[in-house]
Amino acid sequence: MAHILTDENFDAEVLQSDLPVLVDFWAPWCGPCQMMGPIIEQLATEYEGKVKVGKIDVQDYTEQAQTYGVMGIPAFKIFKNGEVVEEIVGAVPADKIRTALDKHIAA
């Protein structure tokens, strides 16, 4: 299951994570975000132990969206060692996110 991220726990859960982190910047009123929800949950299960998956509601937690320049949602950012290493914007097939994640998993 995806971790619920907030402005308060973002540093600990994402920036200080030993694993790469896929962050889903989303909002409840966003149709494409809702469409991607089950895909993100599936990826969280699939990559358990290899990648941390988290969701942050940009409506409730604006600070991180501003910090990371999120202009449109859904936006997916992969963090590794506290840095954004990959970005995907919009509703995309699960395989596009898988391909991005696979590049950043330690061999």
Catalytic annotation, residues: 30, 33
* 3-class DSSP string for 86-103: EEEECCCCHHHHHHHHHH
Residue with token string 């604006």: 62
Instruction: Output the six-digit token pair for 86.
Output: 């990959």
